[in-house]
Chains A and B, each alone.
Chain A
């Protein structure tokens, strides 16, 4: 809401000394937040005066332009009283017009200093100003021609132009719809300065009678009050008075025509949206009802709209003439020939307004007010004000007859414990202060024992609850008075285990050289195609958004990899030689099911709550990781390790296994085939062993096509696991080990197996065969080549044996080793080299 300070002063007796800044600050403190303070005079230094054009000689120039050599009467403002010679490029004026002149020595916005200068063969001593040059309008539409009665030549022009009037732009919250009017802002301004307020709606209005335009309301809940007045004999050529045009412009509205401007002016002044019909285009009784299914209406923006049975419409005997409270119809719109105007000032159900506005995607100044709630008691006063202005400035005659159908529904009183504002705010507020504060704002207040019974004024439809009253009291007492006191919660339980473990995950990975990224969790077919996912891949079962940011990524993501791969490519593209990135984030796979909309009067039943919570899809937290380019840097120490070699897939698996170790969940791997990984270099990541093993996700080298599609070097590697599942497996309590200090015995064995046999299979056989004396087994070499037959490989393992209670003999160690090798031979066909 943009309000000229002069307009506020018209209705609130603000002290002369009150500055615009102070006014804005006080309004902000009351909840009308200052967005911007416009001080148009600030950027201009005079002399800026009214001038009358005396002569005007067009002089064509060689460049094709025609300039006007003008003499302008600027009174004594130039010190001589002689006409001022000025060159002007505009043509939208004539001798005799009043214009705005800035004389040499003045400065226009943009630090544009004016001096007498030679141009087009004349000395131009000043400038005839356009609206744009004065900062009054954005685009230049010629020079400003003042109304004939604007002032005398030589008169200072700041006031004439309204440049001495600051404009305060306020952000109005939905609960303060009353402040979408000068009436409301001035009321709070008066409250802020504790001065008198003059209500623009407090006027003598002729009483309703039966002589007015016939109106029939079929839906009183949708339109509780409908006031109508008729004027005739309007002069179609009458122009909008200067003060109306200026204030509309200050408020950010374009002047259109006298009758339209007057209705807008009264809306700004009172907050009550008003519609004017060309009465000659109306037929018979005006009515209000809900639209019938399939009815259509062309609104005055030229849009033909198919209406819903929930839309409130205004009709006459010919059919639909308007979308009530939202926008009028084209057929009955006022035009340049309108002489009879039916003024509609009606109160509409805010919910219906809100829904109709949304349904038809109409946002308008009228709709904004009607959907938030307007004072229903001012319909007659606002209509009367319109009539007054049309009579005064449009030469119209007010027809006798005042139509008022319906009465405003009475306000329900709100009962509040008198000490509630004090208890809620923590400020000492005596009951009498509470009562006075509410009365100052128009509440009708009665004290009943310990309670205050306050009936809100009709312009405060938002106040329905005791806590609403509290805010109205505390905002006047002042939020600054709220003391600062720390509450004293009981002993807390600290972070949950999952929260602590997640911090651990991040620290572990960062400690291992990975950098965390945060991506947007949106995905589309193109990203999933780039991963090479099959048509029936679970990761294609997305939850789609009705209104996605981008049509390319219309769904919530099912995998963290697209964002990670993009981020990796971005880093390499920006010059990084290698990156290891990780991200944790929720994914959702497999679509959604309905959730209920429950009541809000009381807590849902356990059953309802269960249904509600069960309807929200599972959103497991995933961990994604990508290794691209150099993992260890090359340097003076030699080459870096690069996924271009062999290590990318191993680095990826190592990182996730390291994470498992940190969390106390040993992870194993098993060959798997899954996009987007290389089919021969993809591992399932498992926790647990045998039957109880759980697949947590996958790790390995990315498919070469996936690397190419993401502009990543071949052999880049990635991991994605279900982090929630991993965290759930972290042991709550670890039992401490018993450490044997007896000597360890080492045995190395080299086993030749088929290349298809995995290290894990051989290791498992060795481990099981070696029995309980085995402390550890570790593969330390893999060999293929001349020393082993084709199709075979040699795996070298270091076995370590130790007993808890004695030094092992060579015989014991040897027997355990032989048993291990024997089982490897039996299970895996291993032959010891």
Chain B
């Protein structure tokens, strides 16, 4: 064993004394805990863990120790510096979390503020309504046929068993174009589309034709000279009124909900024979005739207590029409139906005034959005 080094500088070595190292560590830890924000912690790091910090300086003195003392002093300083670094890390994490929390708190906004910088657009319920109807039929394998609104008189009338002297021609008050010799009308029904379809395609045919039609009606809450119809035509072998009933029952249920079915009443349309008016179970009172919102004693306003709503016309396609349109009436039969889209939407959505459909007031269409 050798004796103490006589050259040993007691001052310089003092920083490596356990007490001194402990003191420096404690001072550093205290300063770290005291740091209130990342800036302060940065200064604390420089002061207590930087190159000029007491522990760094102490570390540098280790080399000055006699070899046998270096290990112990090194461990002591190393542990102290490790503790300080750990404390710095912990404190930094805490302070960052606190800082983030404060920042986020400061950035709080009122999320109930209006956000309507870009006003919503909308499609018209007549458009989306026609699409809804088309989709019901397309899902059954039908197709959607269309045609012009200014139409040949022959296609709008004659081909549909409405000859020039047919009393029913006056049933549909028609807009005629000038000169009369052009024989053009604003179509009074979408049936000419059916005639076009029969003339240009071979059966089986299953088409619906939604579209705009015209009659010289008054313009009021329940009538419009311009309105919209959807008509359907099925031509196939063995088609009967039962298929018509089945199709309309399905259509009614798809449009108005479960349990809403149809009934037929004999009627007259030149295009069909036999013909029927089709009524719909009132979907407001579900056929009871009384207002469900009240105590059951008040008459349902939608159906006026009838329990049924007039929906449209239908029937078996008159063989005369098949012949005029080139369909072999010995092989094929067909059915046809027609409903007002406007009217259907009015009672599906409780629209009281038909004119709202045509005024272009954005408050109307935006209520319905872009799909029905």
**Partner-B contacts on A (CB < 8 A):** 28-31, 33, 173-176, 351, 354-355, 358, 371-372, 423-427, 465-468, 470-471, 474-475, 479-480, 482-496, 499, 503, 506-507, 509-521, 543-549, 556, 563-564, 566-568, 570-571, 574, 576, 578-581, 586, 588, 592-604, 609, 612-613, 615-617, 619, 632-633, 635-637, 640
Contact = CB atoms under 8 A, between A and B. Distances in A.
B360 A518 contact: yes
A563 B360 CA distance: 9
Given A581-B360, A600-B324, A467 B273 contact: yes
Nearest to B357: A518
Contact of B245 (A484, A503, A511, A520): A484
Contacts of B164: 597
B189 interface: no
Nearest to A563: B360
Contacts of B120: 510, 513
B274 A603 contact: no
Contact of A578 (B119, B165, B276, B366): B119
11 contacts: A358-B170, A424-B316, A489-B234, A499-B134, A506-B123, A509-B121, A518-B126, A520-B225, A556-B177, A567-B359, A632-B117
B241 interface: yes
Nearest to B275: A471
A484 B247 CA distance: 8
B274 A470 contact: yes
Contacts of B246: 483-487
Interface in B108-123: 113-114, 116-123
Contacts of A512: 121
Contacts of B159: 598, 600
B154 to A, nearest CB: 5
B150 A516 contact: no
A475 B266 contact: yes
Contacts of B117: 632-633, 635, 637, 640
Given A493-B143, A548-B175, A515 B243 contact: no
A546 B277 CA distance: 31
A544 B236 contact: no
A616 B185 CA distance: 10
Given A485-B243, A616-B150, 7 more contacts: A423-B333, A424-B333, A507-B370, A513-B120, A595-B184, A600-B320, A603-B199
B41 to A, nearest CB: 38
A791 B151 CA distance: 56
A123 to B, nearest CB: 39
Given A506-B127, A635-B117, A489 B180 contact: no
Given A425-B242, A480-B264, A487-B246, A372 B167 contact: yes
A546 B119 contact: no
Contact of B121 (A423, A564, A580): A580
A468 B146 CA distance: 30
Contacts of B236: 487, 489
Interface in B179-203: 180-184, 186, 196, 199
Contact of B250 (A486, A488, A515, A594): A486
A571 B121 contact: no
A510 B128 CA distance: 12
Given A494-B138, A556-B150, A516 B243 contact: no
A493 B196 CA distance: 18
Interface string B325-340: 1100000010000000
Contacts of B265: 28-29, 31, 33, 479
Nearest to B250: A486
B307 interface: no
A423 B274 CA distance: 12
B interface, how many residues as a size bin?
A: 35 or more
Nearest to A471: B274
Contacts of B264: 479-480, 482
B118 to A, nearest CB: 5
Given A487-B239, A602-B326, A616 B151 contact: yes
B176 interface: yes
Contacts of B365: 515-517
A486 B247 contact: yes
Given A424-B274, A489-B142, A635-B114, A515 B153 contact: no
B86 interface: no
A579 B122 CA distance: 12
Contacts of A30: 266
A519 B355 CA distance: 10
A596 B154 contact: yes
Nearest to B157: A597
A316 to B, nearest CB: 29
A581 B165 CA distance: 44
B39 interface: no
B175 A547 contact: yes
